[in-house]
Amino acid sequence: MIIEILGTGCPKCRATKENVKKVAKELGLGQQVEVRDVKDVMAIASKGVMLTHGVIVDGTKVSGGRVPSPEEVKGWIKERDKR
């Protein structure tokens, strides 16, 4: 599973990344979840994210413009893990 954090590396981006890593570890999926930072503005726009920071899970935009809660992240991971 690939989770992309799209943003400039601001504190909110880092908080989102930490939530993703924490939840993946809690679910025992730390090795199965790859977290990528996407900081290039053109790459971010090409993925359809106009409000940073955004989150994309396996190619699907799941969040934009806010820090998702750990519960939200858990839902995304569990949903994708079922597939």
Q: Left (φ > 0), alpha (ψ -120 to 50) or beta: where does 43 sit?
A: alpha
Q: How confident is the model at residue 11 (pLDDT cuts 50, 70, 90)?
A: very high
Identify the residue whose tokens are 């993703």: 20
Active site residue 13: yes
Res 51: pLDDT: 73
| 5 contacts 11 by C-beta, under 8 angstroms | no
Catalytic residue among 2, 8, 10, 70, which?
Answer: 10
For the chain, first and last CA: distance in Å? 10
Res. 6: pLDDT tops 90: yes
CA distance to 4, 5, 26, 28, 58, per residue, from 61 (Å): 9, 10, 23, 23, 9
Number of domains making up the chain: 1
State residue 71 phi and psi, 5-degree precision.
Answer: -65, -40
pTM of the full predicted structure?
Answer: 0.88
Please give the residue range of the domain that contains residue 48.
2-81
Catalytic residue among 13, 33, 55, 56, which?
Answer: 13
CATH label of the domain that carries residue 27: 3.40.30.10
The 10s digit of each residue's pLDDT in 18-69 is: 999 999 999 998 788 999 999 998 998 888 887 778 999 999 999 988 899 9
